[in-house]
Amino acid sequence: MASHEENLKRAGIVLPELPPPAGLYRPGIRVGDMIYTSGQLPLVGGKLMEPEGKGSVTAEREQEAMMAARTAALNAVAVLRSIAGSLDAVENIVKLTVYVSSAEGFTNQHKVANGASELVGEIFRESGQHVRSAVGVIALPLDASVEVEMIAYSPIK
């Protein structure tokens, strides 16, 4: 079975540099065998990806928002690696929470969240099968379209 790091390379996925926190918090923290990430935005090079990463999501912007969720999840995976030392030290992705800045009447948050879930599956395969919440909100920091939090099991050896 291929390692998570090998899956990453095989898929041609390059993890970004850790995005700097937008406030007074840490990007992630280990508590025992668990790693928790702060909410990650769809930042590329320190800026929200445009147009996918900005503003409220409508039915017409659903596909864009899925790409933004993928990018935000990629940032969360980068945080995981920075704390675990290697993605191979992560035994399970336990939970994703995907917040979607939703225009009035938009109810496909679960489809937007698939962008994050698909990325996790590409990298972690069976170990990436997780529980998930997809939550519609009125606004997110920096006018982001999505925000992704991740919880992972990474036993200390």
Residue 19 has pLDDT above 80, yes or no: no
φ, ψ of residue 76 in degrees (nearest 5):
-65, -40
Domain ranges of the chain: 2-6+29-106+126-135+146-157
Residue 42 has pLDDT above 90, yes or no: yes
Residue 152 has pLDDT above 90, yes or no: yes
Report the pLDDT value the prediction gives residue 1, as an integer from 0 to 100: 66
What confidence tens digit (pLDDT) does each residue in 70-111 have?
Answer: 999 999 999 999 999 999 999 999 999 999 999 999 999 999
The answer to whether the pTM exceeds 0.85 is yes
Residue 132's alpha-carbon distances to 50, 98, 110, 129, 148, in angstroms, are: 26, 8, 9, 10, 10
Report the pLDDT value the prediction gives residue 74, as an integer from 0 to 100: 97
Report the pLDDT value the prediction gives residue 20, as an integer from 0 to 100: 78
In CATH terms, the fold of domain 2-6+29-106+126-135+146-157 is 60s Ribosomal Protein L30; Chain: A; (3.30.1330)
Residue 12 has pLDDT above 90, yes or no: yes
Q: Which residue has the tokens 């998570």?
A: 4
Report the pLDDT value the prediction gives residue 51, as an integer from 0 to 100: 84
Of 140, 125, 134, 138, nearest in space to 87 by CA = 125
